[in-house]
Structure 1
Amino acid sequence: MPTPPRHRAALVRAAAQLFRRQGYGATGLNEILAASRAPRGSLYHYFPQGKVQIGVEVVEYAGQRVTATLTELAQTEASPADVLRRYARMVVGWLEDSRFRDGSPITTVLLELAPQEAGVTEVGRAAFAAWSRILRDGLVAGGVPPGRAERLAGLALSALEGALVRARVEQDGGPVVDALDQVADLFDSALADGRPDRHH
């Protein structure tokens, strides 16, 4: 009898939460199994390459969730600057709900496994590229030159990832809001510079 597909998703979700809270290296396969409530055989069925393969899946899963959220915000918010401001407050809400135990599963895994594990590095690079592209495209659509838009989008990602570490250490969402608000202000300035009426 084949293993139900739901076990694969349960294992990835459980691993994502554990990696986010305690890191990749500190999380054992038995912990992932216990948290997922999946049968032991399903882990080896779906992840024959072991824990590293789970790490790849977690980074891909987490990256896609962030991409989906940013895409939705880009469709509903007035500007990429507003996307950043709204996302910052969403992140703080998630941090507070977890009592600052949750961090970023993509960051914890990448810090421990990249660049030595090529699979993890590749999906991490793809996730960052997808997030950056959403912000960059919004800036370019507002008249910001592509090169400047690319650098600003990269700055936003760096600010977010660094602020998440500070927020957990300080148990305060302020660093996330402050960092992304400052980058959002830079977005606003770039968008204002890019408006055609500024050049007449």
Structure 2
Amino acid sequence: MPAVPKHRQPVINAAVTLFRRQGYSRTGLNDIVDVSGAPKGSLYHYFPDGKSSIAVAAVEEAGRRVAATVAGLAEECGSTAELLRAHARLLAGWMRGSGFRNGCPITTVLLELAPRERAVAEAGRKAYAARIALLRDRLIADGFARPRAESLAVLCTSALQGALIQARVERSGRPIEVTAAELARLIETETGR
């Protein structure tokens, strides 16, 4: 029976936290070791290709977390508009809770590494695709045709990512909340709700 990868997940969790807070370049391997509590050799054991392979794993993990959050909200909310407003409240709350130090670990890494690090860019593409698919499916359930639902899902994802950056710069949750409210209004107008 193979050994359980004891330190792999703590390394990934530490990388997600650190990349969210300070970006990829400002995060050193020693920072990841310190936050994860893993021995330094674990980094080389689990991530033999170095820091960029940790970035791939961190982007994949962050993508799973976001997708789980959006999927949970899709189940709880009666419409995409409600989902967007609820997600905005969560995002704005998380940003406020961090003193606006935290950003999206996916976006912070991608801004620094894509497109030169293809594996990181591909992990980011998959993370965004999962979120877009969840929103698209929710929009289809709201009565949108698939092509329009796909376009709106891309718009919602892109706008909220931009709002996260703006919120961090302005040190306010308002850009996130305004963006979600406007997206929700657009969707409600199109569905006649």
Please give the TM-score of this superposition, normalised by the length of structure 1. Answer: 0.92
Task: Give the match for residue 103 of structure 1.
Answer: 103
SS at match of 2:192: helix
1:181 matched to 2:178? The reply is no
SS where residue 172 of structure 2 aligns? coil
The answer to whether the 8 A contact 1:11-1:33 is kept is yes
* CA deviation after TM superposition for structure 1 residue 117, in Å: 1.1
Measure the CA separation in 2 of the matches of 1:13 and 1:155.
29
* Count of matched residue pairs: 192
Whole-Å separation in 1 of the counterparts to 2:57 and 2:31: 17
Distance 2:64 2:6 in 1: 18
| Residue 12 of structure 2: aligned partner | 12
In the aligned structure 2, how far is the partner of 1:43 from the partner of 1:135? 35
Please give the root-mean-square deviation of Cα atoms over the aligned residues, in Å: 1.4
Aligned pair 1:145/2:145, yes or no?
Answer: yes
Runs of at least 5 residues in structure 1 that lack an aligned partner in the other structure: 194-200
Distance (whole Å) between structure 2 residues aligned to residue 15 and residue 25 of structure 1: 12
Distance 1:107 1:80 in 2: 23
CA distance in 2, matches of 1:3, 1:53: 21
- Which runs of 5 or more structure 2 residues have no equivalent in the other structure? none
Structure 2 equivalent of residue 35 of structure 1: 35
Cα distance between partner residues in 1 of 2:97 and 2:132:
26
> What is the TM-score of this pair, normalised by structure 2?
0.95
- Give the Cα–Cα distance (whole angstroms) in 2 for the partners of residues 3 and 111 of structure 1: 36
The whole-number CA distance in structure 2 between the counterparts of 1:112 and 1:160 is: 19
Partner of 1:24 in structure 2?
24
Deviation at 1:123?
Answer: 1.2
Alignment of 1:1-200 (within 5 A): 5-192=5-192
Q: What amino acid sits opposite 2:90 in the alignment?
A: M
3-state secondary structure, aligned to 1:6: coil
Q: Assess if the C-alpha contact under 8 Å between 1:135 and 1:153 holds in 2.
A: yes
User: Is the Cα–Cα contact under 8 Å of residues 139 and 191 in structure 1 kept in the other structure?
Assistant: no
The letter of the residue matching 1:46 is Y
Match for 1:144: what amino acid?
Answer: F
Q: Distance in 2 between matches of 1:160 and 1:185?
A: 14
Partner Cα distance (1:6, 1:186) in 2: 47
Higher Cα radius of gyration: 1
1:26 shift after superposition = 1.2
CA distance in 1 between counterparts of 2:110 and 2:39 reads: 27
CA distance in 1, matches of 2:188, 2:181: 10
